[in-house]
Structure 1
Amino acid sequence: MTLPHALSGLSDIAADYDLLLCDVWGVIHNGRESWPGACEALSRFNRDHGHVILISNSPRPAPGVVVQLDALDVPRDSWRAVVTSGDATRHELAQRAPGPAWIIGPDRDWPLYDGLGLEIADGAADAVFISVTGPVDDETETPEDYRERLSAGAARGLELICANPDRVVQRGDRLIYCGGALADLYESLGGRVTMAGKPFDPIYGLALAEGERLLGRPVDRSRVLCIGDGVVTDVLGANRQALDCLFIAQGIHGDAARGPHGRLDPARAADLLKAETTYARYAALDLAW
């Protein structure tokens, strides 16, 4: 397997790209604090080279993510547009309205359903499909807490719409479960899952349409760079779209790609990618200019 090229910083390749499709959690913040070096790198790209589109697997539509970015002191000049899995998933949900939908997830994710005209079911027995954004309490719950309830949905043949394909994200110094982990469990129970976020096509369609709007012309896909720390979401999504990728190898993977010298070990980064049959043209421990 070809090793990813280790970057000293985004400045090494910035002139080669017009658009960055940049992940959020694990790249520019950890849910508790933002990382100034990553934000500065994106701001400098916006100023001197092209446009940054943040592409997040958050189940909330973009306005809710912007509120969170502001609260974490992510500068507005570090991005030009935000596209989320929630935005892409709303199209899927609208096609299935009025339901009823059995909804699983915390109250903070309810903006996903605003204005869709969905009826709410009490559980699998009353639903025609399931919508999952994540565990209700992601601080304490695991997918196993949902096995019995999801088994009932799978037994009825209900489709599950997962608004956040991430399995885990970093929150502070911990990894917490996301909707993708519940979707994996549902599939293991024989259930059918539909997702629109990374690595699936719909979210990239929205992001590239934003890119065309920002550029004022058709997007040259050879000049689009995806950035992310999720191998089965960010990197696999870039591969499926035939877009270049910068793999942020620290993120949710901790020190797995760090060599004994404290710097990125391209072979260790390649091992993380190879485990999911993916490839990234570039890799770095974190995003910096």
Structure 2
Amino acid sequence: MTQLKFPGGLSEIAGQYDAILCDVWGVIHNGRDAFEEACVALVNFREQGGKVCLITNAPVPKQQVIDYFLPLGVPTDAYDDCVSSGDATREELAKRRDKVFWAMGANARWERDPYLYQGLNLSFGEPDESDVLLCIGLSDSLKDHPSDYTDTLKQGVDRNIPMICANPDKQVRIGGQLHWCAGALAEIYEDLGGSVIYPGKPHAAIYDLAVSRVGDAAANKSRVLCIGDSPTTDMRGARIQGFDGLYVGTGLTEHGADFQTEVSDLLADYGEEATYAMTGLRW
């Protein structure tokens, strides 16, 4: 078991690492505004010669993730590249171009779902005629509850079709509100007996993409640091891939009087560990 350390800032440990794989939502922005201190920390790391690849479970290709940065205030010099669960999902979809897909989409108002499969020439159909369930999210991620979809999901389980989960996150904080994500539906699908393919964190496909983007900087796993706000995706992914992990508490937790105890208990509750923890990413 790793002894959890609590550095005051990234500057205290930056010299131990050549590359950072950094989560996006909850670490460098909250869906409404950039976290300035976090962005500055990544800029400073890069100025010292380190490589930064942002790694997100957003179910869209990376360009849509990056396009979202400018209005939020995330600077372009905070990262070298970005990979998304959408990128990894597209690779899974491309392997199955001959299949018929049943798409379970996210909020219609975002109008971003088509980016996930644009240009792949996929065929879509109804549940009773499809070979694969592509789960992008809930129809209304704020008002709906994942349990509302149990009967719908059972249609796919009964027909023994696999689900591709475009976003393994169960919840994400947008501004001050928590929204349900595709991962919550995938959990129900598995509980019902269905099989799920997860291209995003904490699974290997997205990390393989991220490592390829930083090149030689990730040649030594001991000099790669994963940063994130989720025990079950970011810290679990870091552990599975053999990287050090920095947990930041700007996501789903509410800071108590004793942050160190709170984080230790949180990680233990999920059966996970981290190398470091901070209340928020800062230099």
TM-score, normalisation: structure 2: 0.95
Other-structure match for 1:51: 51
Indicate which of 187, 190, 205 corresponds to 2:190.
187
CA distance in 2, matches of 1:254, 1:178: 20
Q: Is the 8 A contact 1:100 1:127 kept in 2?
A: yes
Check if 1:149 corresponds to 2:147. no
CA distance in 2, matches of 1:218, 1:30: 27
**Which aligned pairs between 1:1-289 and structure 2 lie closer than 5 A?**
2-106=2-106, 107-122=111-126, 124-212=127-215, 215=216, 219-255=219-255, 258-260=256-258, 264-265=259-260, 267-289=261-283
Gaps of 5+ in 1: none
In structure 2, what residue type is equivalent to 1:227? I
In structure 2, what residue type is equivalent to 1:152? Q
Give the CA deviation at 1:137: 1.8
CA distance in 2, matches of 1:218, 1:200: 17
Other structure's SS at 1:31 match: coil
Summarize deviations over 1:72-113 as a string: whole Å, max 9, x none.
110000111000011111111111113210001133121110
Q: Is the 8 A contact 1:211 1:219 kept in 2?
A: no
CA distance in 2, matches of 1:151, 1:199: 25
CA distance in 2, matches of 1:230, 1:108: 24
Give the CA deviation at 1:249: 2.5
Give the CA deviation at 1:2: 4.7
CA distance in 2, matches of 1:7, 1:146: 42
Other structure's SS at 1:247 match: strand
CA distance in 2, matches of 1:191, 1:273: 28
Q: Is the 8 A contact 2:18 2:218 kept in 1?
A: no
CA distance in 2, matches of 1:203, 1:47: 25
Q: Is the 8 A contact 2:222 2:244 kept in 1?
A: yes
Q: Is the 8 A contact 2:19 2:218 kept in 1?
A: no
Q: Is the 8 A contact 2:2 2:274 kept in 1?
A: no
Other structure's SS at 1:111 match: helix
Give the CA deviation at 1:114: 1.0
Other structure's SS at 1:252 match: coil
Give the CA deviation at 1:218: 6.2
Gaps of 5+ in 2: none
Q: Is the 8 A contact 1:159 1:193 kept in 2?
A: yes
* Superposition misfits of 4+ residues, deviation over 3 angstroms: none
Q: Is the 8 A contact 2:248 2:281 kept in 1?
A: yes
Summarize deviations over 1:166-213 as a string: whole Å, max 9, x none.
00011111111001001001111111111010000000100001110x
Give the CA deviation at 1:136: 2.0
CA distance in 2, matches of 1:67, 1:146: 31
In structure 1, what residue type is equivalent to 2:133? I
Summarize deviations over 1:218-248 as a string: whole Å, max 9, x none.
6211110000011110000000011000011
In structure 2, what residue type is equivalent to 1:259? A
